[in-house]
Amino acid sequence: MSYPNTFIVVSEDTKAEKGLVPPTKVTLTIVQLQFEMISGVPYTYT
């Protein structure tokens, strides 16, 4: 997905205070692979 020149805001009624690292499993999930890919080089894939 790509949202060029778009600022995405968190909902005002959310209870979340911060993002969480996905739990680790023996076999990496798609979520873990994506997190590792983008966390190492922020703003590269946006």
**1-27 pLDDT, tens digit each:** 567 788 878 889 988 888 877 677 788
pLDDT at 13: 93
Q: How far apart are CA 39 and CA 25, in angstroms?
A: 18
Give tens-digit pLDDT for 34-46: 888 888 887 887 6
Q: pLDDT at position 46, please?
A: 66
**Nearest Cα residue to 21 out of 4, 35, 9:** 35
pTM of the model: 0.41
